[in-house]
Structure 1
Amino acid sequence: MTTVKNKDIPPIQKKPNYWKIACLLIIGVLLGTGIFLTSRVLETKPFPVKETPEIVEREGTPVVNISSNKKQVNALIDFYLTDYKEKSDLDYEFVLADQAMLKGEFKLLGVPINFYLYFDPYVMEDGNVQLKAKSLSIGTLGVPISEVMKLIKRSYELPKWIEIDAKEKTVMIRLDQFRMQNGLFIKAEKINLVDDVIQASLYLPASTKK
């Protein structure tokens, strides 16, 4: 009787688990794509830095007290921003509801990504209006508010008297830099979006010289 030694038995080769390999490849692609997309969104690009004008101490006499509501102000905002939006490559909309909301989009690899940025408005002592960013809705992307505001600052065409501070997450509406052709100027007095009360004063300049 012949005894077969273990060393004479050829080792059994395991077949590769193709399903496992495929799953690992898919996971790797998804992770790589996610990291790439996030890096593109958060990518810092240089943009022109505008000098911030000093606050203008305006002297004048209030001649008209304006009391309005969100519907009327939204119509005014939409009308005023029409020319700026036409010059911008990206579409956006600013509306007043229970909060101030900026709805817009940016393109990532040619694909439009929608976002909703919500603000609380505050009337400053000088009659300007500050919008403080409170929350952001941008699908499943975990992008910080400050990064989206940087993107808005460098990508959107906005009036010169609107200043964005991405670090502080604020937008300042510089009414002290907004003046009508006849010299009249506006100061905000009260903004209560929940109760739908918006008040401002129209001032006649102290000097009529231009």
Structure 2
Amino acid sequence: MKNKWKVWFFVVSGVIMAEILVVVVLFIALQTPGSDFKEPEPVEHGEPIFTIDANKQELEQLINQEVSASNKQSNLTYQIHINDDAKITGKLNVLSANIPFEMTFAPTVKDGNVLLKEKSVKLGVLKLPPSEVLKFINKGTDLPEWVHIDDDKEQIYINLTQLKIKDRFYLQAEAIDLANNQIQFNVFHE
């Protein structure tokens, strides 16, 4: 009987120590300096070749197709859900543990690019400030070069002019009005 209690004591102690270790590692990882991202100057393109009008469902499907390809090569897997706001849900692999997260953003257009201003955030069961979660994701993942996280301002900047389509075309956001289900992009030739 004594041996069972000893075994359970060490098992429970080990689980508690593992949880403390994960929290300490997360805390240390979050203590890096803030982002040094500076928004690029607006780019003048002339007249667009054509304009794309989309709705929330079409945009969500298009984004998730692109995201599914990048999920295979990263420790971050996620999906986009677009309703009256943009929601990113997924899992972040840290120390062989998948930590679920959910972030909600208000999208706006700024100089033809998309700015996602953070509204709410959840990272597993930890209650962390939004800027710290963004800092952690920014430092712990490989994001495309056209996606910039500005953890100080609690926002994600999507620089569409850096996103080349077939090495000849690029997009510029014209309008994002999720409340009225209207999304518009201009397409430019390089």
Q: Same fold (TM over 0.5)?
A: yes
User: Cα deviations across residues 82-135 of structure 1 (Å, max 9, x unaligned)?
Assistant: 3321110232222322211111223455432211011101101x2011001111
After TM superposition, the score normalised by the length of structure 2 is 0.77
Separation in structure 1 between the aligned mates of residue 44 and residue 164 of structure 2, nearest angstrom: 10
1:15-26 equivalences under 5 Å are none
The alpha-carbon deviation at position 185 of structure 1 amounts to 2.2
Question: Over residues 138-193 of structure 1, what are the superposed CA-to-partner deviations in whole Å (9 max), with x where a residue is unaligned?
Answer: 35421111111112112233211010111111100101212233532211111111
Q: Is 1:123 aligned with 2:109? A: yes
Residue 141 of structure 1 pairs with residue 126 of structure 2: yes
Q: Give the aligned residue type for 1:61.
A: E
User: Residue type matched to 2:141 in 1?
Assistant: Y
Distance 2:69 2:36 in 1: 21
User: CA separation in 1, counterparts of 2:80 and 2:93?
Assistant: 19
- In 2, Cα distance between equivalents of 1:109 and 1:181: 37
Distance 1:127 1:53, change over 3 A: closer
State which structure, 1 or 2, has the greater radius of gyration over its C-alpha atoms.
Answer: 1
Are the structure 2 counterparts of residues 56 and 75 from structure 1 closer, same or farther at C-alpha, using a change threshold of 3 Å?
same
Indicate the residue corresponding to 1:58 in structure 2.
44
* Structure 2 match to 1:98: 84
Is contact 1:60–1:204 with CA below 8 Å preserved after alignment? no
Tell me how far apart the structure 2 counterparts of residues 152 and 30 of structure 1 sit (CA, whole Å): 25
Q: Answer yes or no: is 1:190 the counterpart of 2:187.
A: no
Q: Structure 2 unaligned runs (5+)?
A: 1-13
Cα distance in structure 1, aligned partners of 2:120 and 2:66: 25
Q: How does 1:1-210 map to 2 (within 5 A)?
A: 37-44=22-29, 54-55=40-41, 57-107=43-93, 110-124=96-110, 126-138=111-123, 140-181=125-166, 183-205=168-190
Aligned-partner Cα distance in 1 for 2:96–2:73: 19
Q: What TM-score, normalized to structure 1?
A: 0.70
In structure 1, the gaps of 5 or more residues are 1-28, 206-210
Q: Which amino acid aligns with 2:181?
A: D
Whether contact under 8 Å (2:92, 2:99) holds in the other structure is: yes
Cα-Cα RMSD: 3.0
Which is richer in helix?
2
